[in-house]
Amino acid sequence: MRTFFSEKHLAVLSDASHWHLIASGLPEEISPVRTSKHARWAKRHAEVHPHREILMVLSGRGYQKLGDKMYPIVPGTVMLFDAMETHQYGYPSGHPRAEHLWFHLMADLVEFIFVRISGKGRKKAFTHVWNRAFHAVQLGLTSTRLLFPDAYPESPSEVVRWRCLTALELLVSGLVEIGCHLGPRKPDNGLQRAVIAAVVQHIRDVHGRNCSLSHLADAAGYSVSHFAHLFKEHTGMPLLQFINTTRGNRFQQMLAEGKTLKAISTELGFAHPSALSRWRRQQRV
List pLDDT tens digits, range 227-257.
898 888 888 788 988 888 888 888 888 888 8
Q: Which residue has the higher pLDDT, 244 or 167?
A: 167
Compute the chain's Rg from CA coordinates. Answer: 20
State the pLDDT at residue 13.
94
The Cα 140–Cα 164 span in angstroms is: 14
Q: Which residue has the higher pLDDT, 33 or 127?
A: 33
Per the CB < 8 A criterion, the answer to whether 32 and 73 are in contact is no
Q: Do 156 and 280 sit in the same domain of this protein?
A: no
| pTM for this entry | 0.73
What confidence category does residue 188 fall into, taking pLDDT thresholds of 50, 70 and 90?
Answer: low
Q: Do 85 and 168 sit in the same domain of this protein?
A: yes
Per the CB < 8 A criterion, the answer to whether 245 and 84 are in contact is no
For residue 239, give the CATH number of its domain.
1.10.10.60
State the pLDDT at residue 282.
84
> Residues 6 or more apart from 26 whose CB is under 8 A from it?
80, 149, 157, 160, 161, 164
pLDDT in tens, 197-227: 888 888 888 888 888 888 888 877 788 898 8
> Residues 6 or more apart from 48 whose CB is under 8 A from it?
84, 85, 86, 87, 210
Q: Do 119 and 17 sit in the same domain of this protein?
A: yes
What confidence category does residue 98 fall into, taking pLDDT thresholds of 50, 70 and 90?
Answer: very high
The Cα 268–Cα 50 span in angstroms is: 13
3-state secondary structure at position 127: strand
Whether pLDDT at 77 is above 60? yes
Q: What percent of the chain has pLDDT over 70?
A: 93
Residues paired with 80 in a beta bridge: 23, 54
Counted domains in the chain: 2
**Domain encompassing residue 31:** 7-184
Whether pLDDT at 131 is above 70? yes
Q: Do 165 and 200 sit in the same domain of this protein?
A: no
Whether pLDDT at 273 is above 50? yes
Q: Do 72 and 172 sit in the same domain of this protein?
A: yes
For the chain, helix (H) and strand (E) counts, in that order, are: 9, 10
The verdict on residue 1 lying in a domain is: no
Q: Report the interhelical angle of 224-235 vs 239-256 (nearest 10°).
A: 60
